[in-house]
Structure 1
Amino acid sequence: MGERVASDVPSREIERHLLAAAEHLFMAMDECADLSGDARRVISDLQSRLLTKPMHPGRREEFFRETEERLKQSEKVIMDWEASRLMICELGEAERNGYLDAVVEIRRSIESLGKVDPFRIVKQKETFLRAERVLEMAMSRLEEEVKCILGRCKQTYEPRSMSFRSPADNLVFGESFSSVEDNPVDSPRREFEAVDLIRPDMIPVLKAIAKVMFDSDHGPEFCRAFIGARRDALHEYLAGLGMKQLSIEEILGLDWDVLSHEIRNWVRVMWIVTGFYLVSEQNLCNQVLAEFGEFASAAFLDISKLSNLTILNFSKAIVMSSHRPEKLFGVLNMYEVLADRIININALFSEEECSSIRIEFHDFLVVLGDYARATFSAFRNSIESDHSHKPFMKGGVHPLTSYVMNYIKTLCAYRATFDVLFRDEQVCFMCPSLVAEDMTEDEPTSPLDRHLQSILPVLEANLTEKSILLDQHALKHIFLMNNICYMVDKVKGSDDLRCCFGNEWIRKQIAKYQQHATIYLRVTWSCALMNLRESGYAPGSSAPKPRARAREKCRAFCLAFEEVYKLQTGWVIPNPQLRLELQIATSQKVITGYRAFLGMHKMDIDDKYIKYTADDLESLILDFFEGSNRSLPHANSRRRYPQHHLFTNWPAFSNAQKAENQRNFP
């Protein structure tokens, strides 16, 4: 008996030292947030040796009673919580910690019961199985808690300072549209920071739940709940941004108005999602799952698949569609935003298992560039192949001209991107003779300049073909004059285009439309002014008397003027400066000759035979090129017209110029 007591003393002393060492070990573990692999292996080995060491029968019964008691207390906490149906996110920190501590205690009890000597009594086995059932119930509850926290406590954020608008919104052939100078494009903010996608106070709660579930071998269940909830949040967020989940077939079937809107929205979504949302999502995954190895990167990859699929599916559908010229600006916007975000995409998906995503985005950037080049070629081809058979009766600016000029003016907003895409592409000049005449190739130009310089000769050649459809020879020159003047005005009004084409091109084009104006004057008025010239008569012919001849010439001239007036008041010159200049030139040519004729025959023609005075005609010329046909009465209408006196009211024409004009007319 004495020997047994003596042996019990050192055992109790050893147990006391073991308990003290265990307390120090637990304190050290609490202070060390991240244990090394070696430390974890040592502690695990120690735990295994302690649990598998055979217990004294008396000590085994005592251990079982203690475990049973702790299990009952923890089980009560879990069952009470289950009955109340309260959620962790609705309670305070103390209640949450109490529940999680109870779950941890049950897990420890299961581990202890399972590693002690094989079950020797039925009650021990029943306790073990009961503890497992309670733990499974707790795990299911915690899985629901994860979904609840991520659902109720999510936060959405959209950078309000980011605005997206294409310089060529609603660009359609046949319509004038505002250029980039008229509608400046807001530059989106390029600096992004991660934001909190759920309430910050819930991050520690999620981490605690994750630790409990991973320690209980339910890590996959936690990840399933976490990924599912974050996928739903991303789906909801994309829907809030207006990004529809459309199939490629549905996208290809969209009307252009709808598709252009979707392209603009895609650019905006691409900025927001890759710029800050996925950064924030990755940050959330790391905050919650970083300590569990590769689960963080795997969860982020799984969550982001939805956005990647949506973004790439839409863009793939775009490049599968036809190369309509109006798509170029949208495609360039897509290319720019993707090129800008490639660095961020590389950082987001830097892990080896994400390499396929990086490669897909890089490959698609190349595809977008190819599509942009093909679309620009389609634009150039469409100019050459536009063979409209409907004559442009009033001779104004053709829709093709306004479309092309606004198109290339808008294209200048994409100079940097265009120069990258077309750096190595040779320019195909479809009208080399016109290029050689109009362009100066002495100075090196950018790819954009070279390609734009290849466009206008094609446009001018097409306009020349269209002018052939016009019946009146004079109207052909009005038509070409209007369109070339419009081209010059567009180039002069844009610093980018002026730099591209140069002042020499502008001077040559001005000379061209002035030449058309000169030809118009000759073609229109030569026949009418012939009536005011003295004509000879063959010997023996019965020439009219001078008085009758003068009256007949005056009458014929007025009739010719009326025919021109009736026709050319319906023609149009949209540029008010050009219209006034041509009216003045017409007045100088016509009125000068008419005044000289009346002065020469003032003794032969009485006032009653003069249908229009020179002042009347000068006023009537102001009705020319207004686009509304008018007719003049045949009765004497002298002095019924307001007097404008173009010669005296227009300072641009000096007396020397007037004299020069007068010498050119009879």
Structure 2
Amino acid sequence: MGERVASDVPSCEMERHLLAAAEHLLMALKESPNLSGDARRVISDLQSRLLAKPMLRERREEFFEETEERLNRSEKEIMDWEASRLMICESGEAKCNEYLEAVVEIRRSIEVLGNVDPSRIVRQKETVLRADRVLEVAMSRLEEEVKCILGRYKQTYVPRSMSFRSTTTNLASGESFSSLEDVVVDSPRQEVKAADLIQPDMIPVLKSIAKVMFNSDHGQEFCRAFIGARRDALHEYLAGLEMKQLSIEEILGLKWDVLSLEIRNWVRAMRIVTGFYLMSEQNLCNQILAEFGEIASAAFLDISKSSALTLLNFGEAIVMSSHRPEKLFGVLNMYEVLADRLINIDTLFSEEECSFIRVEFHNFLAALGNYARATFSEFREGVESNRSQKPFPKGGVHPLTSYVMNYIRTLCAYRTTFDVIFRDEQVCFMCPPLAAKGMVEDEPTSPLDRHSKSILLVLEANLREKSILLEQNALKHIFLMNNICYMVDKVKGCDDLRRCFGDEWIRKQIAKYQQNATSYLRATWSCALTILRESDYSPGSSTSNTRTRAREKCRAFCLAFEEVYKLQTGWVIPNPQLRSDLQIATSQKVITGYRAFLGMHKTDIDDKYIKYTADDLEDLTLDFFEGSNRSLPRAKSRRK
């Protein structure tokens, strides 16, 4: 049966069917997105030869009519949308697909008619030119549709796992030092998945548009629209993170309070952009353009390099600026976030054409480390060279002491980063002014511990020099006692500082300020207590001479106490416990001696000769070290 049917079909008709099938096969092959340019040219040549076959010439007119009819329908679809000026992407995926099918039909018509040698048929030539014009209109429209989709359907958000904990540390201003603001960023590395930067339902539409435009030799126009829109979106993300695009000159001209805020914004932008947005951007490029070979990675580079260079540009300005000590914490934040994200950066820019960005970020990390070391050195030199021409009048805690302790306490939050940066940094641990006194501590092992103890040795040497400016020997001891006690309290009150300095350091410093307290008592009250000595008095004897001497001693002692009172009520001991301890020590050493003296001479000194009782003086010692000079009230009115 099959043989009879086959025999009924003329051989020429069979050949015609085979040629038509071959024609459709070649057209289908040209639709492949992975087809190279050489392969397309070969297929076009085969189509031309196929249509030149004598058997198909008689069908050319019929074929042309069919093609022109399809072309007219597709042209109407395209021009109707052009006349409406509405955006196709807003009409739903079905309308988008209808429009793209019309564009594909136009392109097919051009390819087919172009292979039929239109030189013999004027009408056919005009039809091809008309189809070319319609295709150009469609390509321009699709380019606008790409911009519309990327503009209207973009998504912007900050992942919750990239939140920040902000702290503000105010360091007391000390002569050449300024206040410090700091933001500490969560240090543990957190992996964040890429997210859709375009609404998911529009991604298939973009892919379809890309396929049509690339197959129509308008891939460059698609990339131009896609890259331009995504680059602008990335700049908007940076602006939303308050990352301004400033020139190096503008950054160098910023005042510190403004610059510190910009550093904070840079840290946040660096963490979110390199850890989330660029990853998502690369994912979007791959979703849309991966089937077109290396174009996806080239598009990602064009989209991201401007923002990456903006981040690098800011960093370059920072490392070019002066090494002011208060900048150190901002720089350490920058170092932390960059070191944390360097793996992301290496992955994002792994292609050879992106290598310059990888190299720039690695070089920048090294530059930040160098800047941090130079800035810390500037801080140390500032502590050492902080000289005073005027004495610190009341013996309280010097601003330099509070500044240095707060500075080191803040540094402890960056222990890991500091130890990495200063791992190979040598410390001159023996501070010359203290080395001569044999006051050098055992060298610790951690870079932060070494540098912190070294700084405090420098600070203590500086404080001793400042104490020399004080005229009263007793006030020198009060000044040193206050500042050393402040250092100890800071260390004891902070776990990070206590871990840095250790209990042995605390014990040694407590011994130092206790020794200063003892020296203060000796310097203040030795002369007054000498007055009460009984070298010229024999127990049991009560003569006119001894009574006179006893009364004179009592009066002289009270005068000496008054002088101390007027002066030392104006001195300051900020620590309440230390102030109370010294008041008690004064009472035990001085008032007890005065009470014993009065008891021994109770028959020699009448009440009218006793200006202050021991209880009076004990009460008066409570006024010492309050920071406000006082005058003693009249004795009689005091006893009423």
Which secondary structure does the structure 1 equivalent of 2:484 belong to?
helix
| 1:401-550 to 2 correspondences below 5 Å | 401-429=401-429, 431-432=431-432, 434=434, 437-441=438-442, 445-534=445-534, 536=536, 545-550=545-550
Q: In the alignment, which residue of structure 2 is the partner of 1:390?
A: 390
1:284 has 2:260 as partner: no
Return the offset for 1:110.
1.1
Per-residue Cα deviation, 1:531-577 (whole angstroms, up to 9, x for no partner): 2223659xxxxx97332322222222222212211211111111111
The whole-number CA distance in structure 1 between the counterparts of 2:564 and 2:221 is 89
Structure 2 CA distance for partners of 1:410 and 1:595, relative to 1, 3 Å: same
Which secondary structure does the structure 1 equivalent of 2:162 belong to?
coil
Return the offset for 1:52.
3.6
1:48 has 2:49 as partner: no
Return the offset for 1:341.
0.7
Return the offset for 1:280.
0.3
Whether the aligned pair in 1 keeps the contact of 2:187 and 2:336 (CA below 8 Å) is no
Q: In the alignment, which residue of structure 2 is the partner of 1:209?
A: 209
Question: What one-letter code is carried by the residue in structure 2 that aligns with 1:216?
Answer: S
Per-residue Cα deviation, 1:141-171 (whole angstroms, up to 9, x for no partner): 1110000000000000112343335656454
The whole-number CA distance in structure 2 between the counterparts of 1:579 and 1:145 is 78
Whether the aligned pair in 2 keeps the contact of 1:172 and 1:326 (CA below 8 Å) is no
The whole-number CA distance in structure 1 between the counterparts of 2:569 and 2:200 is 75
| 1:265-280 to 2 correspondences below 5 Å | 265-280=265-280
Structure 1 window deviating more from structure 2 (617-626 vs 12-21): it is 12-21
Whether the aligned pair in 1 keeps the contact of 2:161 and 2:192 (CA below 8 Å) is no
The whole-number CA distance in structure 1 between the counterparts of 2:311 and 2:467 is 47
Return the offset for 1:201.
0.6
1:309 has 2:309 as partner: yes
Q: In the alignment, which residue of structure 1 is the partner of 2:200?
A: 200
Whether the aligned pair in 1 keeps the contact of 2:44 and 2:115 (CA below 8 Å) is no
Which secondary structure does the structure 2 equivalent of 1:573 belong to?
coil
Question: What one-letter code is carried by the residue in structure 2 that aligns with 1:50?
Answer: Q
Q: In the alignment, which residue of structure 2 is the partner of 1:9?
A: 10
The whole-number CA distance in structure 1 between the counterparts of 2:230 and 2:367 is 31
The whole-number CA distance in structure 2 between the counterparts of 1:288 and 1:507 is 67
The whole-number CA distance in structure 2 between the counterparts of 1:453 and 1:629 is 37
Structure 2 CA distance for partners of 1:171 and 1:517, relative to 1, 3 Å: closer
The whole-number CA distance in structure 1 between the counterparts of 2:186 and 2:339 is 18
Which secondary structure does the structure 2 equivalent of 1:454 belong to?
helix
The whole-number CA distance in structure 2 between the counterparts of 1:526 and 1:256 is 52
Whether the aligned pair in 2 keeps the contact of 1:611 and 1:638 (CA below 8 Å) is no
1:241 has 2:238 as partner: no
Structure 2 CA distance for partners of 1:43 and 1:10, relative to 1, 3 Å: farther
The whole-number CA distance in structure 2 between the counterparts of 1:459 and 1:304 is 48
| 1:258-407 to 2 correspondences below 5 Å | 258-407=258-407
Aligned length: 623
Structure 2 CA distance for partners of 1:240 and 1:102, relative to 1, 3 Å: same
Q: In the alignment, which residue of structure 1 is the partner of 2:586?
A: 586
Which secondary structure does the structure 1 equivalent of 2:59 belong to?
helix
Structure 1 window deviating more from structure 2 (563-572 vs 374-383): it is 563-572
Return the offset for 1:421.
1.4
Which secondary structure does the structure 1 equivalent of 2:403 belong to?
helix
1:221 has 2:218 as partner: no
Return the offset for 1:638.
4.2
The whole-number CA distance in structure 2 between the counterparts of 1:102 and 1:10 is 37
Q: Which runs of 5+ in 2 are unaligned?
A: 1-6, 538-542
The whole-number CA distance in structure 1 between the counterparts of 2:567 and 2:423 is 51
Which secondary structure does the structure 1 equivalent of 2:160 belong to?
coil
Return the offset for 1:411.
1.2
Return the offset for 1:381.
0.6
Percent identical among aligned pairs is: 75
The whole-number CA distance in structure 2 between the counterparts of 1:120 and 1:581 is 117
Return the offset for 1:352.
0.4
Structure 1 window deviating more from structure 2 (486-495 vs 352-361): it is 486-495
Question: What one-letter code is carried by the residue in structure 1 that aligns with 2:73?
Answer: Q
Which secondary structure does the structure 2 equivalent of 1:393 belong to?
coil
The whole-number CA distance in structure 1 between the counterparts of 2:314 and 2:81 is 47
The whole-number CA distance in structure 1 between the counterparts of 2:268 and 2:489 is 34
The whole-number CA distance in structure 2 between the counterparts of 1:132 and 1:29 is 18
Which secondary structure does the structure 2 equivalent of 1:206 belong to?
helix
1:106 has 2:93 as partner: no
- TM-score, with length taken from structure 1: 0.88
Q: In the alignment, which residue of structure 1 is the partner of 2:63?
A: 63
Whether the aligned pair in 2 keeps the contact of 1:163 and 1:188 (CA below 8 Å) is no
Structure 2 CA distance for partners of 1:503 and 1:179, relative to 1, 3 Å: farther
- TM-score, with length taken from structure 2: 0.91
Whether the aligned pair in 1 keeps the contact of 2:180 and 2:326 (CA below 8 Å) is no
Return the offset for 1:189.
5.8
Return the offset for 1:612.
1.5
Question: What one-letter code is carried by the residue in structure 2 that aligns with 1:614?
Answer: A
Return the offset for 1:29.
9.8
Return the offset for 1:622.
1.0
1:575 has 2:572 as partner: no
The whole-number CA distance in structure 2 between the counterparts of 1:612 and 1:105 is 116
Whether the aligned pair in 2 keeps the contact of 1:103 and 1:138 (CA below 8 Å) is yes
Return the offset for 1:12.
2.3
Return the offset for 1:496.
3.3
Whether the aligned pair in 2 keeps the contact of 1:179 and 1:410 (CA below 8 Å) is no
Structure 2 CA distance for partners of 1:303 and 1:264, relative to 1, 3 Å: same
Return the offset for 1:362.
0.6
Structure 2 CA distance for partners of 1:554 and 1:190, relative to 1, 3 Å: same
The whole-number CA distance in structure 2 between the counterparts of 1:103 and 1:35 is 19
Whether the aligned pair in 2 keeps the contact of 1:430 and 1:458 (CA below 8 Å) is no
Q: In the alignment, which residue of structure 1 is the partner of 2:256?
A: 256
Structure 2 CA distance for partners of 1:496 and 1:633, relative to 1, 3 Å: same
Question: What one-letter code is carried by the residue in structure 2 that aligns with 1:560?
Answer: A
Structure 2 CA distance for partners of 1:421 and 1:166, relative to 1, 3 Å: farther
Q: In the alignment, which residue of structure 2 is the partner of 1:631?
A: 631
Question: What one-letter code is carried by the residue in structure 1 that aligns with 2:447?
Answer: P
Whether the aligned pair in 1 keeps the contact of 2:569 and 2:626 (CA below 8 Å) is yes
Which secondary structure does the structure 1 equivalent of 2:283 belong to?
helix
The whole-number CA distance in structure 2 between the counterparts of 1:634 and 1:357 is 82
Return the offset for 1:69.
1.0
The whole-number CA distance in structure 2 between the counterparts of 1:546 and 1:391 is 44
Whether the aligned pair in 1 keeps the contact of 2:161 and 2:190 (CA below 8 Å) is no
The whole-number CA distance in structure 2 between the counterparts of 1:638 and 1:234 is 78
Q: In the alignment, which residue of structure 2 is the partner of 1:608?
A: 608
Per-residue Cα deviation, 1:398-422 (whole angstroms, up to 9, x for no partner): 1111111121122122222122112
Question: What one-letter code is carried by the residue in structure 2 that aligns with 1:117?
Answer: D
Whether the aligned pair in 1 keeps the contact of 2:23 and 2:47 (CA below 8 Å) is no
The whole-number CA distance in structure 2 between the counterparts of 1:170 and 1:575 is 20
The whole-number CA distance in structure 1 between the counterparts of 2:11 and 2:41 is 26
Which secondary structure does the structure 2 equivalent of 1:508 belong to?
helix
Whether the aligned pair in 1 keeps the contact of 2:419 and 2:446 (CA below 8 Å) is yes
Whether the aligned pair in 1 keeps the contact of 2:395 and 2:482 (CA below 8 Å) is yes
The whole-number CA distance in structure 1 between the counterparts of 2:343 and 2:312 is 17
Question: What one-letter code is carried by the residue in structure 1 that aligns with 2:15?
Answer: I
